Structure 1
Amino acid sequence: MARHWLTIASPTTEAITNPLLAACEDGYVPDSIRILSNPTVQDNVSPIVPFLEDLVDDIVETHHEHLRSELPSLERTVRKVTRVHGDTHPELEAIESEFLSLEADVTEHIADEEETVFPEIVTLDDETPRTDTEAARIRDAINHLESEHDAAASHLEGIRDLSDDYTTPSDACTSYRNMLDRLQLHEEDMHVHIHKGNNVLCPDADALLTSA
């Protein structure tokens, strides 16, 4: 994924370059820079095109495709382990229930993102001024995306708590261990997915919407 640097309302060139240089020293070297609502400096920096589309493509290709492949297989493993070990580990039924709720929500969520939310956000790349009605519709889409991410995070926390931070029981078989490992990896991937949406895509989209 290409790295981008977005700045808004910076009154001087130094206000842009100083934090940018600090980020580069920390290892974040952007491929391109976008300057928003900085009339005294924005003409000196070339805009990036596309911007939000790159982020959307990364989320779909890196996370959505993985989820479509992993969730059905992981569901089968969770069901199997619960069926075999549920009598001696009653917490497995709660883990299964939490996971199935998460799977249903996430499956619907990624379809909604790709069909409704992302197309709205990508239109901001052209920086065309929006009517109040259009801006409100896009902001509603962004808020909806963030609320669904928060709901997914709650399910993930529930699974972690029920599994005692994915602790492997002494009598766990290979399938049991595999399930816990995959659930932990699933949580880690989902948190990266949520971070890209809530902390990168949505704020950048809102900044573009504000400046349009």
Structure 2
Amino acid sequence: MTIFTENDRTGEIVIRFPYASQLLRQYKIDFCCSGDRRIGEVIQERELDGEKILNEINAHYEEQKQLHNVIIDWKSQANETIINHIIDTHHNYLRSILPELEQLTLKVAKVHGKHHPELIQVQKLFKTMQADLLQHITKEETYIFPKILDSSVVSQNIGNEIALLEDEHSSSGALLKSIHELTDDFTAPMDACNTFKLTYLKLDELERNTFNHIHLENNILFPRFH
């Protein structure tokens, strides 16, 4: 059965079927910062095998449906539920993983940077992203989320503030994509030590979590207030 077609937007696909985020990441198809683009357009632009990709998404959807896996319909969830999930699953994760990755990226850059100069650039990009993300989530929790949850305030126009947050999402997404390319899709070289391999695994995990985080805000929560 064909559920998703080339006319569906990437963000909408992940809204309806969150498991699709893994497949889209595999093909480097943006579903968060550029989630308003039709998947067929992106596939054609990147010269990918559209039939194969859509068949995989639809087959995976049917598989999960047969397994009776619970798929949360985030579009139907209350603002408070979404915000609590974002804080618990994404913000708290960032506060935990970023200091760890700060030490890991610095260590591997110092030890292996001579033979793998890309690690030095990865470390610089990560430092910039770390500062941006920590400032970003503090701004959300301190200013934006309380406004969204305050019924006396939410009627006011907060679209401009949200637009700034979405711009910050784009900047963080671009940094992650640069790190993804520099690390050859987070593929550690043959001579990588265990710390080197762990760093790439953690960066891959960070990208996955952050893209899902941005997707929830850009495609589900924030459009309610534009």
Question: With structure 1 as the length reference, what TM-score do the two structures score?
Answer: 0.69
Aligned mate of 1:164, from 177, 184, 188: 184
Question: Are residues 128 and 86 of structure 1, via their aligned partners in 2, closer, same or farther at CA, if it must alter by over 3 Å?
Answer: closer
Q: Which amino acid in structure 2 is aligned with residue 205 of structure 1?
A: F
Give SS of 1:118's match.
helix
- Map of 1:44 onto structure 2: none
- Map of 1:77 onto structure 2: 104
- Map of 2:171 onto structure 1: 151
Give SS of 1:165's match.
coil
- Map of 1:116 onto structure 2: 143
Q: Which amino acid in structure 1 is aligned with residue 175 of structure 2?
A: H
1:144-200 deviations in whole A, cap 9, x for unaligned?
111111111001001001111111111000000000010001000000000001011
- Map of 2:194 onto structure 1: 174
Q: How far off is 1:97 after superposition?
A: 0.5
1:83-110 deviations in whole A, cap 9, x for unaligned?
1001010111100001111001001000
- Map of 1:87 onto structure 2: 114
CA distance in 2, matches of 1:63, 1:29: 16
Q: How many residues align?
A: 161
Q: Are the counterparts in 2 of residues 81 and 176 from structure 1 also a CA contact under 8 Å?
A: yes
1:6-61 deviations in whole A, cap 9, x for unaligned?
xxxxxxxxxxxxxxxxxxxx67575995xxxxxxxxxxxxxx8xx21111111011
RMSD over aligned Cα atoms: 2.6
- Map of 2:162 onto structure 1: 142
Q: Which amino acid in structure 2 is aligned with residue 203 of structure 1?
A: P
Identity of aligned residues (%): 35
Q: Are the counterparts in 1 of residues 74 and 220 from structure 2 also a CA contact under 8 Å?
A: no
Q: Are the counterparts in 2 of residues 117 and 145 from structure 1 also a CA contact under 8 Å?
A: no
CA distance in 2, matches of 1:163, 1:75: 16
Q: Are the counterparts in 2 of residues 52 and 205 from structure 1 also a CA contact under 8 Å?
A: no
Between Structure 1 and Structure 2, whose CA radius of gyration is higher? 1
**Aligned ranges for residues 6-17 of structure 1 at < 5 Å?**
none
- Map of 2:221 onto structure 1: 201
Q: Are the counterparts in 1 of residues 166 and 218 from structure 2 also a CA contact under 8 Å?
A: yes
Q: Which has the higher strand share?
A: 1
For structure 1, list consecutive stretches of 5 or more residues without a partner in the other structure: 6-25, 34-47, 207-212
- Map of 1:16 onto structure 2: none
Q: Are the counterparts in 2 of residues 120 and 141 from structure 1 also a CA contact under 8 Å?
A: no
Q: Which runs of 4+ in 1 moved over 4 A?
A: 26-33
